[in-house]
Amino acid sequence: MKATYKKYILNFKIPSGTSRGVLTQKETWFLLLQDENRYGIGECGILRGLSVDDVPGYEEKLQWVCENIHLGQDGLLQELNGFPSLQFGLEQAFLSLQSQNPFELFPSEFTKKESAIPINGLIWMGDEAFMLSQLKQKLKDGFQCIKMKIGAIDFAAELSILKTIRNNFTPQEIELRVDANGAFSPTDAMEKLQQLSEYQLHSIEQPIKPGQWEQMAELCQNTPLPIALDEELIGIFYVTEKEQLLQTIKPQYIILKPSLVGGFNGCREWIDLAEKYQIGWWVTSALESNIGLNAIAQWTYTLGNSMPQGLGTGSLYTNNFKSPLEVSNGKLYYSKTKQWKHNLIEDLCI
């Protein structure tokens, strides 16, 4: 078996704002396996300033994986505990290699193009006019669950946008989620949660920065609206520590991004623990290309979670890969008419 990798820069169509800054590009690497006439591909992507494996020597570690591919999937995964995105890419690549169709990793009614995954429509940060224009488009596109990034512009303006939505749509018509990306301080978080709760939100993601377990536990205990942990899960590698975090904080939800928390295996550990403690969960992509998004979507469908998932990021880039993934009426479909580019993996191998 031969293993190689290729770096690829994804370019955003529109600069996308979060409370951590504005994104214009996204780095990713493709792990490519070749065994005789079979090919496999996995996406290893990091988010600068967020991924725990955003460290010097990342590419050298990926090169090490290629040089030691003979160790096999299980042997390599054990050596990559501090590199969750490489674990995710490795899992994908081996599944891809072993599949009849290298892009069909989890055959299901989804890949048979007979079923879809409900997803949320994502509204990025910007000025009020820009955020309202995004909202108008998402509603036009048939989304019934909207996720809005908050914490970067004036909080009063963000509340105004939420008020506009609620003045026109009931919680039964539009489910509202907000994502603070840790923007609130522990001292003012509860007050802001109280204000946000007036708009009958489904949940808020990561109100304060991760690593403040006691403060987050207090918020989760007293919150007027459900709290979902997101960045809080990053860098927690071992099952005992995962369980300790959930026992301590007792969140209402956790959000799983495979490339940030150790691939499918890492997510499965979180899911098992969440269900043990009756904590809700859903899956979100971490701005992967359509190759990584395809793997996440197929896996997510097999989990049977009926909540809207965070898998609507495939249209963000100018240079993404054409794929059968298609968003329509607030759902992600495997299109009956669109196809992967012929010889895409072989082209990347060159």
**Residues in Cβ contact with 198 at an 8 Å cutoff, skipping those fewer than 6 apart:** none
Catalytic residue, candidates 149, 192, 209, 242? 149
257 is catalytic: yes
268 sits in the region (left: phi over 0; alpha: psi -120 to 50; else beta) called alpha
Output phi, psi for 176, to 5 deg. Answer: -110, 125
How far out from the chain centre does Cα 282 lie? 9
Catalytic residue, candidates 138, 147, 209, 257? 257
Reference 206, options 259, 147, 289, 270; nearest CA is: 147
CB half-sphere exposure, 64, CA atoms < 13 A: 13
Q: How many residues does the chain have?
A: 350
Residue where the block lists tokens 């939420």: 162
Distance CA 78, CA 65 (A): 12
Cβ(270)–Cβ(285) below 8 Å: no
Extract the runs of DSSP E, i.e. beta strands, from the chain.
2-18, 21-35, 38-45, 117-118, 121-123, 145-149, 175-179, 203-205, 227-229, 253-256, 280-283, 325-328, 331-334
Distance CA 280, CA 278 (A): 6
> Which residues are catalytic, by number?
149, 257
